[in-house]
Structure 1
Amino acid sequence: MGRKAAKWRKQVEPHFGFLAQLGFGKVDVDDSSFWSLWVQYRSKTSAIRISKSNEFIRSEVHLIRLVDGEVPAYPIWITDDRIDWTLLDNVVVSRRPDLAGELAKQTGLADQELDQQLGFWARVLREVAEDFLEGDFAPLDEAGALVRSHVAENPQQVQVWIPSDAPAGTEAAEQEKVQGTVPPNVGVSVRRYWRGRTSKSKPG
């Protein structure tokens, strides 16, 4: 455990230490990524990961369904496969839309800001996902349905860029190549970008 991970666990523990009494006794930490460090409380069937995100400038809480007793890989795309990860935000929006306005306020990486956020997330976890804490995956599944509805309204897509002087037909070849690396429900579009010298006016 690195210093950053130890510090984050110490900051998280006063808010989420109660999870150990509910069967989430296996605690893991990780600070190997610049973008996020996390502490995770795990039971025999599920896990709750509390992260400090440099990418999104806030703390985040994920609810996770274990697969064969292990945390599954984070899904890059939403497919027809079962959703085993969700942000607590999605559970709030699904079950307590009246609290949705509070979610945008959970921001900042200063210690005082993070303490406020952690207190909020711990309270909300017990209020909107108590059944998850008892081993029921209904909150995760309801949040998954919400995510799928958002994806249906805003289809997933990969944007590929090729240089302006690429040979004719490159678009089709690139689209076929990339399409083979993503799920069928993810679209692929190809566009050209200008590559060349910028013309400069000669002095008069």
Structure 2
Amino acid sequence: MRHSGARVLDIAGSRRTAVAILAVITGFYYLFVAITNCVDTDTNRNAVAAVLSMRSTIHNPGTDWRAITNSGVALVAYILIVIWEFLIAFVLLAAAAVWGRVLTGRPRRLRADLGVAVRLSSLGWTMAVMLFAGGFLTVGGEWFRMWANKEVNASSAALQNFLIAAVGLILVHLPDSIAPHHAPMPPKGSRH
């Protein structure tokens, strides 16, 4: 029989615990980002408008036609970004709750299991990849040339968010493994 210290280490030092903790941290991070975007609407809404209008970027007739100067469109884009951030937060926090149940051995109460925890985590981080790699880096960064915007350039923050979500996706999709010293030894003479 293994002693309880080894059992605690098996749980606390596991990939599943790392995924659960990353889900908690990123879930709260996106919740704080979304709340901040609701509290400080002027700064953040103006940043979206600055990127879409391309007013402080490199100007070229071949790309200037892409600019969107309509404030109504900028407001709708801003609202959609904030809603998406709230959705990411809720999905990742739900994933963290399910991970907590899985790690404590109580998944039946929530009627959720390891598969649900994995799928929710994967969904949340995929949503973050869509927003930050798709929305901010691809659409904002390249289409609206945010990388050259002197007023607002959120490319490095978007890359940071993409990388954290990518790490989460990698961790959550790694196969479970049992350390060789923990695997039971088959009896002598048995076929395994």
TM-score of the superposed pair, with normalisation by structure 1: 0.22
TM-score of the superposed pair, with normalisation by structure 2: 0.23
- Structure number with greater CO (CA < 8 Å, separation at least 6) is 2
Answer 1 or 2: which has greater strand percent.
1
Answer 1 or 2: which has greater helix percent.
2
